[in-house]
């Protein structure tokens, strides 16, 4: 039953509104507050679907209440109640985010209509938010092997901290997924997650990409531009393939980590940044250090916490789950009817040498779904999954 909060200093009006909403229609639960402060307190401590708020009130007027609601619970619609003198204000509150306004004395039908519409809209907003959360289903981490369970428990512990994390593991094992989880489960999840693929950016551009540049810093720099570190402010920067970063960029990253500030290329002005760094690599950084391609001091700065994602060959018990997961996903995406895998087919897939790890497994499942029979058989696997 949706709860409605009425904030109104005139007892008579409060009573009328409350009566209409709770008696004429028994679908609503009503709470009353005599002024804005009391209203805000109630709003904080309870779940409301809607706020009805008078405009002229002592202590805190309706506009201030509206602004406070927009700050603390922006998804709750606010309907203003306007007296004779403040119709203009009422109209103006719409621009501040009020859902609608009703005039005093309240008209029964208009009131019920407005309330119904506002509650419907709220449901829509909440539903949209839920859908947005679902987008991160893209980063679902399937698996029940010790390796995956350990990674998940590590993420739970590490994500809420500010510690830097280095994620290592072979190609296609899910390092990017781990990085997304770390961000999504952190207090920075409302801030941005900025991904930089250090291997994909030419070495002469990486510094300007990470730190930005000022106009004239180099030939093509025709205006000031912020870099990824600044873009990640109050969020997380994910330095993917960090093992491929040039030594001179490494020196600059090290400096940024030490100082919590960056300098745009061509400028010596320090710009403060509040960024958590997560890095990933499929290279053996110890070896890179030995061979002089990676700075040891940077390694120690990045690898405060080390998460090693195991190769698929080391967690074969996850393969049936992963096959099922990808099969469902692929058939759903391509709008084809569901397909199952025979137990012999699954067993054979479990024995393969998965050098390309989960990414390779996904591709093989896709191929089998397209080419295999209605139930994918051992023969299908032999025919189509060989490399």
Binding footprint of ligand ATP on the chain (CB under 6 A)? 140-143, 169, 171-177, 282, 325, 358-359, 362
Q: Between 228 and 362, name the residue whose CB sits nearer to ligand ATP.
A: 362
d(CA 200, CA 202): 7
- Nearest approach, Cβ of residue 143 and ligand ATP (Å): 5
* Contacted entry of Mg ion, ligand ATP, none for residue 213, CB cut-off 5 to 8 Å set by kind: none
* Position of minimal CB gap to ligand ATP: 174
**Shortest Å distance, C-beta 46 to ligand ATP:** 39
Token pair of 75 as six digits: 């998804």
Shorter beta-carbon distance to ligand ATP: residue 142 or 257: 142
Residues 6+ apart with CB under 8 A from 166: 242, 278, 279, 280, 281, 285, 299, 302, 303, 304, 305, 306, 307
Q: Cα separation of 55 and 89, whole Å?
A: 8
Instruction: Give residue 236's region: left, alpha or beta (phi > 0; psi -120 to 50).
Output: beta
- As a whole number of angstroms, the distance between CA 385 and CA 273 comes to 48
Question: What six digits make up the tokens of 278?
Answer: 């997560």
Interface with Mg ion, residue 199, by CB under 5 A: no
For residue 67, count CB atoms less than 10 angstroms from its CB and return exposed for 0-12, middle for 13-18, buried for 19 or more. Answer: middle
Least separation in angstroms between CB 285 and ligand ATP: 14
Q: Does 141 bind Mg ion (CB under 5 A)?
A: no
Q: From the CB of 206, what's the least distance to Mg ion, in Å?
A: 17
Chosen from ligand ATP, Mg ion, none, partner binding at 114 (C-beta under 5 to 8 Å by type): none
25 vs 313, beta carbon nearer ligand ATP? 313
Pick one of Mg ion, ligand ATP, none as the site partner of residue 173 (Cβ within 5 to 8 A by kind).
ligand ATP
**Structure-token pair, residue 118:** 């506002």
Which residue, 230, 233, 227, is CA-closest to 191?
233
Could you say whether residue 31 binds Mg ion (CB under 5 A)?
A: no
Residue 35 within binding range of Mg ion, rule CB under 5 A? no
Crossing angle of helices 175-184 and 146-158, in 10° steps, is 30
Stretch of 55-63, 167-175, 184-192, 367-375 lying at the interface with Mg ion (CB under 5 A): 167-175
Q: Choosing among ligand ATP, Mg ion, none, which partner's interface includes residue 329 (Cβ < 5 to 8 Å by kind)? A: none
State the Cα–Cα distance between residues 152 and 158, nearest whole angstrom: 10
Instruction: Name which of 144 and 290 has its Cβ closer to ligand ATP.
Output: 144
Q: Position of tokens 């020196």?
A: 251
Among 92-100, 173-181, 207-215, 285-293, which window interacts with Mg ion (CB under 5 A)?
A: 173-181
Binding test (CB under 5 A) with Mg ion, winner from 176, 288, 314, 366: 176
Which residue, 175 or 264, is less far from Mg ion as judged by CB? 175
CB 49 within 8 A of CB 4: yes
Q: Which is nearer to Mg ion, 14 or 175 (CB)?
A: 175
Which positions touch Mg ion (CB under 5 A)? 175-176
């Amino acid at each position: 039953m949706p709860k409605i909060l009425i904030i109104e200093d005139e007892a008579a009006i409060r009573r009328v509104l409350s009566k209409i909403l709770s008696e004429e229609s028994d679908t609503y639960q009503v709470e009353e507050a005599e002024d804005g402060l009391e209203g805000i307190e109630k709003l904080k401590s309870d779940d409301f679907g809607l706020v009805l708020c008078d405009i002229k009130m002592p202590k805190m007027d309706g506009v201030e209440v509206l602004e406070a609601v927009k700050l603390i619970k922006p998804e709750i619609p606010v309907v203003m109640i306007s007296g004779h003198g403040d119709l203009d204000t009422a109209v103006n509150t719409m621009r501040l985010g009020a859902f609608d306004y009703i005039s005093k004395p309240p008209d029964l039908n208009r009131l019920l209509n407005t309330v119904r519409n506002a509650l419907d809209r709220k449901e829509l907003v909440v539903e949209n938010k839920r859908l947005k959360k679902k987008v991160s289903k893209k980063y679902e981490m399937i698996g029940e092997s010790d390796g995956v369970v350990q990674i998940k428990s590590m993420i739970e512990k590490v994500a809420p901290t500010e510690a830097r994390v280095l994620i290592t593991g072979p190609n296609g094992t899910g390092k990017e997924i781990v990085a997304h989880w770390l961000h999504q489960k952190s207090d920075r999840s409302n801030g941005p997650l900025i991904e930089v693929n250090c291997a994909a950016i030419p070495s002469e551009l990486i510094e300007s990409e990470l730190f930005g540049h000022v106009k004239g810093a180099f030939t093509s720099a025709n205006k000031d531009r912020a870099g990824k570190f600044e873009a990640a402010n109050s969020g997380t920067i994910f330095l993917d393939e960090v093992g491929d970063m040039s030594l001179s960029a490494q020196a600059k990253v090290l400096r940024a980590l030490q100082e919590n500030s960056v300098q745009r290329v061509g400028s010596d002005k320090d710009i403060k940044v509040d960024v958590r760094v997560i890095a990933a690599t499929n290279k053996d950084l110890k070896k890179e250090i030995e061979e002089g391609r990676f700075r040891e001091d940077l390694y120690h700065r990045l690898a405060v916490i080390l998460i090693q994602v195991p190769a698929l060959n080391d967690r074969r018990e996850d393969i049936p789950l992963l096959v099922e997961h990808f099969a469902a996903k692929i058939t759903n995406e391509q709008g084809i009817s569901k397909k199952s895998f025979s137990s012999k087919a699954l067993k054979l897939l479990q024995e393969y040498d998965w050098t390309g790890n989960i990414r390779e497994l996904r591709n093989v499942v896709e191929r089998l779904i397209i080419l295999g029979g209605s139930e994918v058989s051992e023969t299908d696997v032999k025919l189509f999954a060989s490399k």
